[in-house]
Amino acid sequence: MSFPPYPQEMPVEGVYSTVPPQGQFGVATVVKPLSPLAITALVLGIISLLLSWIPILHNLIFILALIATVVAILAVVQTRPDMTHRGSGIAITSLVISILAIVVVFGSQAMYPKANGKAFGAPFVSSRASKGAATSDVVQLENGKVTIEVKKVEESVDDQEGEPTVAVTLKITNNDTSSLNPFAYYVEVSQNKAALDSAVYSDNLMPEGYEPFADLEELPAGKSMTLVKGYVLRDAAAPVTLMIDSTVPSTKAFKKEYSLQ
């Protein structure tokens, strides 16, 4: 019969102290590092939620909240018990906040135009003569699933800051069997190779046919809609270049220059 070894005796300042041998109590617990994805998703989600009520920022905040949602999903996977990082609670919280931000964006964008309509009535359209010309250019996207007809590109009313703008009128037709996501295509207007910023109009002065946030609405299968988009001009006399393409850039993008004179 054998006995366990006695603890080692070590002299400490003239006296003896018993210290258990190395490894007596097993291997020390390793603490997992906190997931950087979880922290990133939480920050992006909180920013998205805080700014989701601002109508002017709806497009930007939707994209930011979408990114936060994707990062949060990756963080949830990264912080599973069998993975190398901790922070599962933070990851799940950030996912909930990001999804809530997306819901708020869509909810507020639906309420804002209605509130404006009740408060201000029908928008006033300036009687100032528009400069530009009607066109009949037709763009086919997604192998014919989407048809975009350029109806007009013309100088329009000033924005809420008093800056001159150009209004682009498009007729969009969904030839597919499912609804058209508004982010499946994009429209860009530029001058001198510099992209123009989207115009923000006052509630009582806007282009004819213009509806705020109409470009964020899904288009049902087999339906058409007329969309008016406004852009702030850098030079009231210079021509503008219109580009229309799928969200994933292709070699078949539509690009044409229009004169405003």
SS3 42: helix
The closest alpha carbon to 154, from 126, 182, 180, belongs to 126
In the chain, what percentage of residues exceed pLDDT 90? Answer: 26
Domains, in order of start, for the chain: 36-120 (no CATH), 131-258 (2.60.40.1240)
pTM: 0.52
54-58, 174-178, 240-244: range with lowest mean pLDDT: 54-58
Q: 196 with 233: CB under 8 angstroms?
A: yes
The residue length of the chain stands at 261
The closest alpha carbon to 166, from 139, 190, 135, belongs to 190
pLDDT digits (tens, 9 = 90+) for 58-110: 678 888 889 989 999 999 998 988 888 898 899 899 899 999 988 887 776 65
In whole angstroms, give the CA distance from residue 41 to residue 49: 12
pLDDT band at 126 (very low <50, low <70, confident <90, very high): very low
* Angle made by CA atoms 257, 208, 260, in degrees to the nearest 5: 25
The closest alpha carbon to 232, from 169, 127, 158, 136, belongs to 158
